[in-house]
């Protein structure tokens, strides 16, 4: 897959169909992939988010970036991630840069062991707890085409109805333009 020019990337909003695609594995590593990840990190920081996945910038590939602290030294790029182990469980409210204005109570594992590759194709394994584990799971859901809105409880549906309808109306208006 040919990667787009990183300078043209923007965060894609619900209900754009790319957000529902199961992403393809990354097969080519190197400078183009690094440039893409760097731009994704810049977009994530600009939007004051904690994670951003490939489909959230319109590219259905198995790549996400994250930073649980917001500190520059804590940026992490995960290519072709997979979970080795998920343990514990906790319900917390989550938001999503692709679904602004919507927050959903979601149950996630509190500890995750993940294997992934960096942009040079070097494999690594990391263990994350609490917020970091939650972010990884949220971004991994994006790589499978799953969104927070897919499994909302009735109370979350009611609380977020107006915001979801506005996103749908905005998308319809820009799609016709």
Name the residues annotated as catalytic. 139
Domain residue limits, the chain: 6-176
Per-residue pLDDT of the chain (177 residues; tens, 9 = 90+): 677 788 889 999 999 999 999 999 999 999 999 999 999 999 999 999 999 999 999 999 999 999 999 998 999 999 999 999 999 999 999 999 999 999 999 999 999 999 999 999 999 999 999 999 999 999 999 999 999 999 899 999 999 999 999 999 999 998 776
Two tokens, residue 109:
């594992």
CATH topology for the 6-176 domain: Peptide Deformylase (3.90.45)
Q: How many CB atoms lie within 10 A of CB 53?
A: 30
Two tokens, residue 171:
């998308």
Question: pTM of this prediction?
Answer: 0.95
Unique residue bearing structure tokens 């959903």: 104
């Amino acid at each position: 897959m040919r990667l787009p020019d990183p300078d043209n990337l923007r965060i894609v909003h619900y209900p754009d169909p790319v957000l529902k695609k199961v992403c393809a594995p990354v097969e080519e590593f190197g400078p183009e992939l690094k440039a893409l990840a760097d731009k994704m990190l810049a977009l994530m920081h600009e939007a004051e988010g904690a994670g951003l996945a490939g489909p959230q910038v319109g590219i259905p590939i198995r790549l996400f970036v994250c930073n649980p602290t917001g500190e520059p030294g804590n940026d992490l790029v995960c290519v072709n991630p997979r979970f080795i182990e998920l343990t514990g469980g906790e319900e917390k409210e989550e938001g999503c840069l692709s679904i602004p204005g919507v927050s959903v109570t979601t149950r996630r594992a509190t500890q995750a062991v993940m294997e992934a590759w960096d942009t040079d194709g070097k494999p690594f394994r990391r263990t994350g707890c609490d917020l970091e584990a939650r972010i990884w799971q949220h971004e991994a859901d994006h790589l499978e085409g799953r969104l927070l809105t897919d499994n909302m409880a009735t109370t979350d549906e009611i609380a977020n109805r107006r915001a979801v309808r506005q996103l749908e109306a905005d998308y319809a208006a820009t799609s016709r333009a």
